[in-house]
Amino acid sequence: WTIENQRLLIEFFQRHENLHNVKHRDYKNRTMRDIMLQEIADMLGCTPSEAHTKFRNLRTYFFKEISKVENSRASGKGTGDLYKSRWEFFEDMLFLQGSHTPRRGFSTLDRPSTSGASHHLQGNIPGPVSVDASDESEEDVVLTEPDPPVPQLKKGKKQKRQGTSAHEAVLEKALSLLNQPDHNLFEDEDFLYSASLTRELKQLPILDRDFLKIQLMQMVLQAKHNVVMHTSVADVVELTP
């Protein structure tokens, strides 16, 4: 982003108030906003999302500079000690000053000054952030006090939660193994041979198929128990009605 492109982007948003002013009647008109963002994107050679995000980053930094100016005034300093922004786009973005909501800080006129007050006020000001251009509910940045620290869980509760998670993980693993097909069955050579033999038997006539099954069973009995069954096809008489 060159200085010229950034200034062109700022001027475009200044001319189209509905892109940044939440009180504008067309602020929530998404179709109009998308058309305008596409227009500035074509001018700058970027995407609408990149143009929108860049302006919001510039606006956030501008609010940071405005807060420094207001904090220096609230501290009761003399005119010569007031903070003056040296940011090159500060004057260009003064049109946003009306939408800036200052944070509630401490004034040295009301309370005794402390050594860490200035550092506390400046350290909590957020820097530029990246925002998705599709965010329809865009709001102005409000610099507020930092959130209170989140209480940490006690060790006992944490260990109990970890134990529960481990137990659930074991159950999930067991269920996944049960649901998996038995690939070893399909890799067994005897199973594959039986399947191929079954396909061949289905191609034979029913009577021949049954005789062949009997012969195969006789061979199996002979191999397992050393027993020979004397049955031949000649002994079979077909009954006719």
Query: What pLDDT score does 132 carry?
Result: 39
Q: Which residue, chain included where needed, has tokens 């000054």?
A: 113
The pTM of this model reads 0.40
Give the domain ranges of the chain: 3-123
Q: What is the 3-state secondary structure (H, E, C) of the chain?
A: CCHHHHHHHHHHHHHCHHHCCCCCCCCCCHHHHHHHHHHHHHHHCCCHHHHHHHHHHHHHHHHHHHHHHHHHHHCCCCHHHCCCCCCCCCHHHHHHHHHCECCCCCCCCCCCCCCCHHHHHHHCCCCCCCCCCCCCCCCCCECCCCCCCCCCCCHHHHHHHHHHHHHHHHHHHHHHHHHCCCHHHHHCHHHHHHHHHHHHHCCCCHHHHHHHHHHHHHHHHHHHHCCCCCCCHHHCCCCCC
Residues 239, 75: Cα–Cα separation, whole Å: 118
Tell me the angle at which helices 30-44 and 48-74 cross, rounded to the nearest 10 degrees: 100
At 189 the pLDDT is 73
pLDDT of residue 141: 41
Residues 6+ away with beta carbon under 8 Å from 214: 231
pLDDT in tens, the chain (241 residues): 888 999 889 888 888 888 888 888 888 888 988 988 998 899 889 999 998 999 899 989 988 888 888 887 776 655 567 788 888 888 888 888 776 555 554 444 344 343 343 333 333 333 433 333 334 444 444 333 344 445 555 555 554 455 556 667 766 766 676 666 555 555 567 777 777 778 888 888 888 888 888 888 878 878 888 877 665 555 555 555 5
